[in-house]
Chains A and B, each alone.
Chain A
Amino acid sequence: MNGNEGLLQLKGVSKIFGRATIDEVTALDNVNLNVHAEDFMTIIGSNGAGKTTLLNVIAGVYPPERGGKTIINGKDITNLSEHKHAQYIGRVYQDPHTGTASKMTIEENMSLAMLRGQARGLSIATNKQRRDQFCEALAPLGLGLENRLTTQVGTLSGGQRQALALVMATISQPSLLLLDEHTATLDPKTARIVLELSEVIVQREKITTMMVTHNMEVALRYGNRLIMMHKGRIIVDLSHEQRKNLTVNDLVTAFERASGEHFADDTILLSTADPDEKPDNEQ
């Protein structure tokens, strides 16, 4: 792996939906991005800025427009199908229902996740050894899921499901972890817990991470790099040094300067009602 080239490179990535119709949308507009190994990047941007589309292209849900390239670990994966992308990439979606299978048990979900990047064969999917591994991975969540391996996932709460999805996304040590507003549907307290868990896992497993959030406070607090998207482009890219002493207001100013627009999007929450704001006993 060529260190300074970065773990993930996007070169000239565009995505246009509904081409040549009246609904044509340029969701990504010639995006170039270099994500370094062990970066923890937070991504913010107004609704429709192209954040989810960016993650979808990286995950291979659909390919970028012709000419765009997705390179991971030095390997061009642009035209590989989604399940082949998945051998490098773990993902947690906004909706807990997308990342887990409700009618299957916790251990069945975990078994599916553990085989990421491996050939699936004709041996029985769950055995004693794997169950022990699942317990080991679930226990640190502190939710008691390790004692409920045969419980159907559909009976878990949204927070529990997202925590499970997080473990499922990371258990097979992917090169890259994509988190797409994965706490947006949770109540503030649970959202906080799941965020903290995400950080713990990312740091422990040293996984390169891209986390989309709608919350500026969160974007500033977590990770070591911040990008801001607007109309399909990356308009602000702040390194750890640059964003160290920034406040939400500084971010708003940066947005206005870079986009040339007045900041009027209330979908980027300024999170005053969020428990995230209270530093509690940490810091």
Chain B
Amino acid sequence: MDVLVNLLSASFYEGLAFGLVAIGVYLTFRVLAFPDLTVDGSFALGGAVAAILIVNDINPWLATVAALGAGLCAGLATSLLNTKLRITALLAGILMMVALYSINLMVMTGRSNIGLLRQVTVFDQVSQFLGIDDKVTLSIIFMVVLTVIILVILNWFLRTEIGLALRATGENEQMVRGLGGNTDMTTVLGVSISNGVVALSGALIAQHDSTADVGMGLGMIVMGLASVIIGEALFHPRGVTAILLAVIGGTFTYRLFINIALRYNWVSAGNLKLITALLVIIALAIPYIQKKMRHEWVPPAARM
């Protein structure tokens, strides 16, 4: 029983914390149709910025907001490479991801790891404020509140006039421009917001785990994609609100699956990324195989 409760509560917290990454991935890959690989870099950037500021005695809330801002800037850079220099989305993201590796090392003043064990984090401050000592309960409450706030904002934003143009940009760029919408602007906005949310997640997870590591972002895109795909497959969401919730639900399911597999030694921690990659490959291949079996013609995948 205890095992089950532990597994569920850990997965619940992670579902929310990494759910923010999945939300970011959903915004770029699904809403904007912009396959943004910056995410691995901006997740670590969030952790790095928050950690270095916190060890330099900056207020942890301020540090967290700064991390979000840094993520916005990373997304801004990627989207400007794409819209102003006409570099393909995929390549722009890869370039930024690689550049961010060095930038993150610089942010962490050359260290590949910064410990936050003796520092006061946002979790410590909330724990004090609410008088809750249990770390698991606390982190769940904290993440629920934060996730609700972010989902409410996004749910509103995607229905506004700009938000609508942003969604339409992912579907039919030509039409949006023909109707007077600035698709460069919507792309920049969407990719920036996505990376801001991802960096926020990195900042919170670094504080929760009391460590920021230059490699902490590795595989975040694939994890985010897996979560989005699971959410879509499980909940068949329709409409903005349902999709946002499904993405969080998908992340929870994914983390639960991973935690169970780890707990019973079905997989070792080192194999996790391989398993996740296989999961995404299978999920992406299924629709193709189904169409093949129905003798439908499927065009070759795009190269660029």
Contacts and interface: CB of A to CB of B under 8 A. Distances in A.
A102 B168 CA distance: 10
Name the interface size band of chain A.
20 to 34
A101 B178 contact: no
Contacts of B160: 121-125
A103 B181 CA distance: 18
A112 interface: yes
Contacts of B172: 97-98, 100-102
A258 interface: no
A87 B180 CA distance: 6
A120 B178 contact: no
A112 B162 contact: no
B175 interface: yes
A102 B163 CA distance: 17
B172 to A, nearest CB: 5
B180 A83 contact: yes
Given A83-B180, A83-B181, A117-B180, A99 B164 contact: no
A118 B183 CA distance: 15
B176 interface: yes
A116 to B, nearest CB: 4
Interface string B152-172: 000011011111110110011
A82 interface: yes
28 contacts: A59-B178, A81-B182, A83-B177, A83-B180, A83-B182, A86-B178, A86-B181, A87-B180, A91-B178, A98-B172, A98-B174, A99-B175, A103-B171, A104-B164, A104-B168, A104-B171, A108-B164, A112-B165, A112-B176, A115-B179, A121-B160, A121-B161, A122-B162, A123-B160, A123-B161, A124-B156, A124-B160, A125-B161
Contacts of A168: 179
A131 to B, nearest CB: 14
Contacts of B181: 83, 86, 112, 115, 120
A26 interface: no
A111 B164 contact: yes
B161 A101 contact: no
B243 to A, nearest CB: 11
Contacts of B177: 82-83, 86
A125 B179 CA distance: 15
Given A104-B168, A125-B159, 6 more contacts: A59-B178, A115-B181, A120-B161, A120-B162, A122-B157, A123-B161
A112 B168 contact: yes
Given A101-B171, A104-B168, A112-B168, A82 B178 contact: yes
Contacts of B176: 83, 112
Interface of B: 156-157, 159-165, 167-168, 171-172, 174-183
A163 to B, nearest CB: 16
Nearest to A91: B178
Nearest to A60: B177
A31 to B, nearest CB: 21
A196 B202 CA distance: 58
A124 B171 contact: no
A113 interface: yes
B161 A113 contact: no
Contacts of A104: 164, 167-168, 171
Nearest to A168: B179
A242 to B, nearest CB: 33
A115 B172 CA distance: 16
Contact of B159 (A117, A118, A124): A124
Contacts of B163: 125
Contact of A83 (B159, B168, B183): B183
A111 B161 contact: yes
A152 B182 CA distance: 23
B180 A86 contact: yes
A101 B180 CA distance: 15
Contacts of A120: 161-162, 164-165, 181
Contacts of A118: 180
